[in-house]
């Protein structure tokens, strides 16, 4: 399965280059910064120069983040998703 995902990423994106990640998480003051820091530390990707855009749900319980990172390879994309899955409070990443 991983090989197939790597093949699809390589076929549909240019590497190195920007890659957009969408993250949905439980709203809290510090989790947005935690997401960026955790991903960058776990993968070695530099922090983005522009802050990610965020949006709160109507009820205020959840937030979404659009995070654009410069990635070097399809493997690095999968490493970001793995790092996101390890963060408490992250519900979904796509």
For 58-93, give the DSSP string.
TTSSEEEEEEEEEESSHHHHHHHHHHHHTSTTEEEE
The residue whose two tokens read 């809290």 is 28
Res 93: pLDDT:
96
Res 10: pLDDT:
94
Convert the pLDDT of each residue in 11-68 to its tens digit: 999 999 999 999 999 998 788 889 999 999 999 999 998 899 999 999 999 999 999 9
Give the domains, in start order, of the chain with CATH numbers.
2-93 (3.30.70.260)
């Amino acid at each position: 399965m991983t090989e197939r995902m790597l093949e699809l990423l390589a076929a549909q994106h240019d590497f190195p280059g920007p890659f957009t990640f969408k993250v949905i998480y439980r709203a809290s003051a510090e989790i947005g910064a935690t997401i960026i820091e955790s991903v960058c530390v776990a993968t070695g990707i530099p922090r983005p120069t522009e802050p990610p855009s965020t949006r709160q749900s109507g009820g205020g319980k959840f937030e979404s983040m659009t995070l654009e990172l410069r990635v070097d390879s399809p493997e690095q994309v999968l490493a970001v998703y793995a790092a996101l899955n390890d963060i408490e409070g992250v519900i979904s990443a796509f």
